[in-house]
Structure 1
Amino acid sequence: MKTENFKLNTICTHVGELEDKQFKGAVSPIYPSTAYAFEHVDQKRYPRYFNTPNQQALSKKLAALEYAESALIFGSGMAAISTTMLAFLKSGDHVVLQRELYGGTHNFIVQEFERFGIHYSFAPGRSVKDFEEVFKPNTKLIYMESPSNPLLSVVDIQAIASLAKSKGVLSLIDNTFASPVNQNPIKLGVDLVIHSATKYLGGHSDILAGAVCGSNEHIEKVHSLAVNLGGTLSDYTVWLLERSIKTLGVRVKAQNRNAKKLAKYLSKNQAVSKVYYPGLVSHPDHAIAKKQMKGYGGMLSFELKEDIDVSKFLDALQIIKPAMSLAGVESTILSPAQTSHSLLTAQEREQQGISDNVLRFSVGIEDRKDLIADFEQAVAKVRAQQLKV
């Protein structure tokens, strides 16, 4: 059968799996060797070259999920982001960036680009006009993130990708929050799609990895630099990630359903002043999200009212885990100001709309009634404590 005709869950389960020819096992065997023969072989394999059997098999699965020709697996999402961007940039080049970015990406740009002689500009808004406004003759690349971390802002991916093509520059997107289940940017004209595979692709809060997907030509250029930088992934982790992706479609669709219900609940809750979720009609980017997403994702953020102490609220939760990272099967929550965006200045966070009362909620697969009950008991506990003071 032609794998390009497979549907989502079949791709997740079967594309890129390795055949156990010796024992006929149902799962891919793992090849942990770091030493392979160099004579009388079809290719010379070495883990740092991204070409071990498990690495290559998983790359095929990820490429299929993102409708790309090729893919590479990295040791982290930031390894994928930094290597991909540096593969196409040199001293004197300029980059146009979306303003709302993951804190690690933002920090990489502002701390490292200057010493490489790379110039950059953040678009003042999310429209095509905003991106075009900061273009320069030496612009080589547009970088976006949609939905964004942590306020779930959405950009018109197809429109920005078209702008990049009209200017003759590359377009890159961080597709982590959406996952391949909900959004496929290559179908919308984007050149390269990046993931923190630690998140939805791994899905169990026990894997650190990254990925980039794109054309053979573009991935080969990333590969050339990646071999020198050495951001590869252990084959043990590659095998675990391939295992985890088998349930990607099932997990993410369950998280989509939970998140949408919880977003609606929180938007009516008296303890919450604002909810950020592109699946809500009230979200300013809902129309764009509806156009380009198949599901709205398992991520949402909300702002507690000022009379609710954030730290005490987090301490009072019993099911939802206050923890860094996101997208596991268990629900987690964090304060971006204290974690993912702590490297930004208070002014930079304010410019992005990230107040100290904003909490990022990664919705898991638990029963949503239990999650709602946990939220309510935590609010009640904090209010009771405050009445005693």
Structure 2
Amino acid sequence: MTKKGLGLNTICTHVGEVKDEQFKGAVSPMYLSSSYEFLDVDVKRYPRYFNTPNQEHLAKKIAALEHTESAMIFGSGMAAISTMFLAFLQKGDHLVVQNTLYGGTVNFIKEELPKYGIEYTFTSGYSVEDFENAIQSNTKLIHIETPSNPLMTITDIKAIAKLAKSKSILTSIDNTFASPVNQNPIDLGIDMVMHSATKYFGGHSDICAGAVASTNDIMERIWNVGKNLGGSLSDMTVWMLERSMKTMGLRVKAQTKNAMKLAKWLDGHSKIEKVYYPGLKTHPEHQLAKSQMKGFGAMLSFELTSDLDAYRFQKELSLIKSSMSLAGVESTVISPHLTSHALLTEEERKAVGISDQLIRFSVGIENVKDLKRDISATINKINKREAIQI
């Protein structure tokens, strides 16, 4: 099905369907074979080559959502981003990376890229000037993340793309937190978009996957590296992911609406020191976010006041779950210093503003009143306990 002129929910529902030619079923059939015909066929299908029927068709849905020519599905977000990096970086090359970034990506860069003789520089901030100052003569790629994990910083996508193009440098972005529902970086000049498809693409906390989308030429290079690294996804999981993506537009819009209401409420709470959410007018990059996002997303973070135990807060919540991942239909919280950024040193976490009081909040589709009630009751509960101990 052509993607031209189709709305978001129509793309989510129909683009990339595998037609059931035999039984005319309403959903895509699942192809679980790991071995396909070799003789007298146009396409030599092989699971490790990312081109089995379910993989190939789902890639079309992702490409349509991100306004690109092509896309690929991977076994995880880290498989996606590592393959993307290694497709365009080799010995002697230099990578410029935003300093406010997912901890797993930071760890990969620091531990793995030196083994390949690839140099890198983390920016001192996330302004255009910070990126320009980090560029070297051998810089081949600039990688950004906006909104960033977990402080929701906003990077000027269009300005970074313009800077890179002026110096013939490729750009890539982690678009996981925004999702294509709220942000399309390709339209702003970025070359490659990657996702942890585990998050909003899957949306039900039961799938681990990754994705990269770009032009046909760029994806050809990523495919050449990907088939050697072998980070493809099983077709059963691909089928589950395609099923889940049918409701992504509905889910993410509902979650985004809830997040805006909760961010405003938390911002006025006496036991919340600070709220990080680009939808708030007090957010330093609110106007920038407004200019490049269609919605402000369903992720936010907040810092509890110093008299509250952040670990106990999470344990005492009854409706909101303490969970390692994010973006499911259920609301979840974590402490970034114990999870997503646990691989960083304490000094590194402090340098990018991640305190022990910071809570990352993935807002689900529940009734907002119920979520507020859960947070209020928990704060009151732990506040009384600590008052008694004092």
Distance, in Å, in 1 between the alignment partners of 2:153 and 2:201 is 21
Distance, in Å, in 1 between the alignment partners of 2:2 and 2:213 is 20
TM-superposed deviation, 1:2: 4.2
2:209 is equivalent to residue 209 of structure 1:
yes
Distance, in Å, in 2 between the alignment partners of 1:40 and 1:53 is 17
Distance, in Å, in 1 between the alignment partners of 2:3 and 2:343 is 43
* Larger deviation, residues 221-230 vs 308-317: 308-317
Aligned residue type for 1:210: G
TM-superposed deviation, 1:388: 2.2
Equivalent position of 2:194 in the other structure: 194
Aligned residue type for 2:99: R
Equivalent position of 1:84 in the other structure: 84
Aligned residue type for 2:220: E
Distance, in Å, in 1 between the alignment partners of 2:310 and 2:292 is 34
Distance, in Å, in 2 between the alignment partners of 1:249 and 1:60 is 16
Distance, in Å, in 1 between the alignment partners of 2:146 and 2:332 is 20
Distance, in Å, in 2 between the alignment partners of 1:136 and 1:387 is 54
Equivalent position of 1:114 in the other structure: 114
TM-superposed deviation, 1:124: 1.1
Equivalent position of 2:282 in the other structure: 282
State the SS of the aligned residue for 1:359.
Answer: strand
Equivalent position of 1:295 in the other structure: 295
Equivalent position of 1:225 in the other structure: 225
2:305 is equivalent to residue 305 of structure 1:
yes
State the SS of the aligned residue for 2:48.
Answer: helix
Distance, in Å, in 2 between the alignment partners of 1:367 and 1:109 is 40
Equivalent position of 2:335 in the other structure: 335
* Larger deviation, residues 305-314 vs 230-239: 305-314
Map Cα deviations across residues 7-42 of structure 1 (whole Å, 9 max, x no partner): 100000000101111111100000000010100111
Give unpaired runs (5+ residues) of structure 2: none
Equivalent position of 1:352 in the other structure: 352
2:12 is equivalent to residue 12 of structure 1:
yes
Map Cα deviations across residues 238-296 of structure 1 (whole Å, 9 max, x no partner): 00000000000000000010000000000000110000000000001111100000000
TM-superposed deviation, 1:387: 2.2
Map Cα deviations across residues 47-82 of structure 1 (whole Å, 9 max, x no partner): 000000000000000000000000000000000000
2:43 is equivalent to residue 47 of structure 1:
no
State the SS of the aligned residue for 1:78.
Answer: helix
State the SS of the aligned residue for 1:54.
Answer: helix
CA RMSD of aligned residues (A): 0.7
Give unpaired runs (5+ residues) of structure 1: none
Distance, in Å, in 2 between the alignment partners of 1:312 and 1:229 is 41
Map Cα deviations across residues 72-127 of structure 1 (whole Å, 9 max, x no partner): 00000000000000000100000111000100000001111111100001111111
Distance, in Å, in 2 between the alignment partners of 1:204 and 1:354 is 27
The two structures have a TM-score, normalised by structure 2, of: 0.99
State the SS of the aligned residue for 1:5.
Answer: coil
Equivalent position of 2:271 in the other structure: 271
Equivalent position of 2:173 in the other structure: 173
Equivalent position of 1:162 in the other structure: 162
Distance, in Å, in 2 between the alignment partners of 1:304 and 1:267 is 11
The answer (yes or no) to whether the contact 2:38–2:44 under 8 Å persists in 1 is yes
The two structures have a TM-score, normalised by structure 1, of: 0.99
Aligned residue type for 2:186: I
Distance, in Å, in 1 between the alignment partners of 2:106 and 2:45 is 35
Distance, in Å, in 1 between the alignment partners of 2:127 and 2:382 is 40
Over the matched positions of the two proteins, sequence identity in percent amounts to 61
The answer (yes or no) to whether the contact 2:323–2:334 under 8 Å persists in 1 is yes
TM-superposed deviation, 1:193: 0.1
Map Cα deviations across residues 353-388 of structure 1 (whole Å, 9 max, x no partner): 000000000000000000000000100110111122
TM-superposed deviation, 1:329: 0.1
Equivalent position of 2:315 in the other structure: 315
State the SS of the aligned residue for 2:19.
Answer: coil
Equivalent position of 2:103 in the other structure: 103
Distance, in Å, in 1 between the alignment partners of 2:58 and 2:19 is 13
Distance, in Å, in 2 between the alignment partners of 1:146 and 1:380 is 34
TM-superposed deviation, 1:3: 2.1
Aligned residue type for 2:106: H
Poorly superposed stretches of 4+, deviation over 2 Å: none
State the SS of the aligned residue for 2:338.
Answer: coil
State the SS of the aligned residue for 1:142.
Answer: strand
Distance, in Å, in 1 between the alignment partners of 2:3 and 2:135 is 40
Distance, in Å, in 1 between the alignment partners of 2:123 and 2:102 is 15
